[in-house]
Structure 1
């Protein structure tokens, strides 16, 4: 099997390429420059130059993919995004991400849709979170907002395009990513260390905590590869074993970082400086599970809860010097804290 991956040079995409090549799949990764070429090669893939917003360029990239791999492309994974920074976002940032998701999918289908068997799109579970905060599954009605509107549009587009082009769509709605090389995770750590990341709660007094469904980015890459290997199609939620409140997640992360315990503020007080998108995300519950995905694919996360996942993040940072940089010292050792994390919440 030969798999064509967009977003192959990103934090998520590199893991997809790495996991697929470990499973003896030929992976062609879309790249825009020499650094991207190197990133794809380092993950075990074959780089081809192109841009998801350039349909003609994608056709050339698809031809090059066949030439370089010696095989026709069997599946496409559209993992490319242009997510806004972790800091306060604007409508312009979301429009750029929407364009990459939406127009990228259209261009990929136009360039490759008639020739591939499967089209995989990593979406997000919070596109279907419920207004009352209740637990939901793959059958739940969607409620997209500005941040998830394009994800819903791509889901719908692929369902319609599949009938016209003859491929099988696979939608994998993932939980909220975190990991040692994830920009948002690093931003959270920096702001926790400086005391600038409060717990934003719902309700007038800010005492209502939203449960979020999380997923370590290593587990996300493994899940995509496992789904491709299993040959499944349709819609699945892919999250870890335990939804976590924003309060517990940030307090645990702060503890592991030896940072001050974050303060608590109500949503209406945080909105002017954090922005409505971030506040809505932090205060809108999205509890779901991977029960269906596990049953059909046999996937299990290496980091079943945020506790194990955050321990891995901090351990990785301790090993590569990031933790010392965050703490402002030359020799950071968090071994005793990582072993005691389960007692913190």
Structure 2
């Protein structure tokens, strides 16, 4: 198929594009920087410079590619675009990404309609943000926690609106867990090694992780099968922070993380960090494995962290 990957030069795009090309697909991948066109060419894609926040730019890029599927993978979380990570103020840290997920989605959907693109796949999120009611591991049928009244709310609410818009046109939303893999958690590992990434309280909040290569393979299956609906793209082992963070430190050759009380973490790192580490609800991948026939190379972050940091 002719596949249009918006955001093809990002950390996921760099793992996804080669898999699509190896699968025999013709890939057009976008970037905001001309300096990355060479990289996209090396990955096997036709690279295009596109401004996801400009409707005309998006429309021209999509029209010239004549794709059979559009994949929305645009974010701006890297240091280049968003500056130093600021988990205390995710509304500010994710400001451009939030626009790409709101305005950018609208522009891509408009371009898809104008060019008659029959299928649309968008990026969602499923790591620690399951609703507090019920158990610790959520399916696609369970509600999400939007953390109303906190700095996390704007971004989480936008993600929900993306889901609504994409599902309305019969597309698919892939709710990825927390990414790790080449280039994905370098900043976190640096903090871990400096013992600046502490456990909060008892560390009982659950999260779901996913290696970039597994996220890419699930995405290719979703494209090839033209699936519709929501899919949690996470590994097999949802886990509390008290399990994965010390293990990450061990794999990174660092000392065990310090512990800080909830009140201090809330003061220093904000509501999202406290919630993630103390109350987070993770996600099940059963639907994706069952309906996509997806097999993970890294079924657990335990395998992936060790290999990544060896």
When the two structures are superposed, what TM-score results if normalisation uses the length of structure 1?
0.81
Q: Which moved more, 1:213-222 or 1:275-284?
A: 275-284
Structure number with greater CO (CA < 8 Å, separation at least 6) is 2
Q: Which has the higher helix share?
A: 1
Deviation string 1:33-66 (CA, Å, 9 cap, x unpaired) is 222212211221111121111111112112332x
Q: Is 2:148 aligned against 1:148?
A: no
Corresponding position of 2:280: 285
Asked if 1 retains the 8 angstrom alpha-carbon contact of 2:5 and 2:13, the reply is: yes
Hey, what's the Cα distance between the residues in 2 that align with 1:32 and 1:96? 13
Give the CA deviation at 1:128: 5.6
The CA distance in 1 between the partners of 2:28 and 2:246, in whole Å, is 40
Moved more, 90-99 or 287-296: 90-99
**Number of residue pairs the alignment of both structures matches:** 296
Structure 2: stretches of 5+ with no match in the other structure? 148-152
**Distance in 2 separating the partners of 1:178 and 1:292:** 22
Q: Is the 8 A contact 2:235 2:300 kept in 1?
A: yes
Summarize the alignment of residues 45-60 of structure 1 with structure 2, pairs less than 5 Å apart. 45-60=45-60
- Of structures 1 and 2, the larger Rg is shown by 1
Can you list the C-alpha shifts for 1:289-325, whole angstroms capped at 9, x where unaligned?
111111111111111101111012113xxxxxxxxxx
Alignment of 1:162-241 (within 5 A): 162=169, 168-182=170-184, 185-200=185-200, 206-241=201-236
The aligned residue for residue 125 of structure 2 is: 124
Structure 1 counterpart SS, 2:171: strand
Structure 1 residue runs of 4 or more that deviate by more than 4 Å after TM superposition: none
Give the Cα–Cα distance (whole angstroms) in 1 for the partners of residues 210 and 13 of structure 2: 15
Q: State the distance in 2 between where 1:275 and 1:11 align.
A: 26
Cα deviation 1:203-244 (Å, max 9, x = unaligned): xxx225111111111111111012112222111111101111
Contact in 1 for aligned 2:179/2:212 (Cα 8 Å): yes
Report if the CA contact (8 A) 1:137-1:237 is conserved: yes
Distance 1:210 1:105 in 2: 31
Contact residue 174 and residue 233 of structure 2 kept, 8 A:
yes
| 8 Å CA contact 2:128, 2:206 repeated in 1 | no
Once the two structures are superposed, residues 19-43 of structure 1 have per-residue CA deviations (whole angstroms, 9 ceiling, x without a partner) of 1111111110112222221221122
Residues 143, 125 of structure 1: alpha-carbon distance in 2 compared, 3 angstrom cutoff: same
| Contact 2:203–2:242, Cα closer than 8 Å, also in 1 | no
Q: How does 1:88-107 map to 2 (within 5 A)?
A: 88-90=87-89, 91-107=91-107
Tell me the secondary structure at the aligned position of residue 64 of structure 1: helix
| Aligned-partner Cα distance in 2 for 1:284–1:96 | 27
The answer on whether the counterparts of 1:48 and 1:64 sit within 8 Å (CA) in structure 2 is: no
**Over the residues paired in the alignment, what is the CA RMSD in angstroms?**
1.8
Task: Classify 1:269/1:131 alpha carbon distance in 2 versus 1 (closer, same or farther; 3 Å).
Answer: same
1:302 paired with 2:304, answer no
Q: Is the 8 A contact 1:127 1:144 kept in 2?
A: no
Residue 138 (structure 1) aligned with residue 169 (structure 2): no
Question: Which residue number corresponds to residue 80 of structure 1?
Answer: 74
CA displacement 1:163-204 (0-9 Å, x = unmatched): xxxxx301111111111311xx2122112211211111xxxx
CA shift at 1:278, angstroms?
Answer: 2.5
Q: Deviations over 1:142-180 (max 9, x none)?
A: 3323241111011112233x1xxxxx3011111111113
Q: Please give the residue correspondences for 1:57-76 in structure 2 after superposition, counting only pairs within 5 Å.
A: 57-65=57-65, 72-76=66-70
Residue aligned with 1:76, SS: strand
User: Structure 1: where are the runs of 5+ without partners?
Assistant: 66-71, 163-167, 201-205, 316-345
How far apart, in 2, do the equivalents of 1:180 and 1:58 lie? 28
String of CA shifts for 1:316-338, please: whole Å, max 9, x gaps. xxxxxxxxxxxxxxxxxxxxxxx
**Residues 2 and 25 of structure 1 are in contact (CA less than 8 Å); yes or no, is this contact kept in structure 2?**
yes
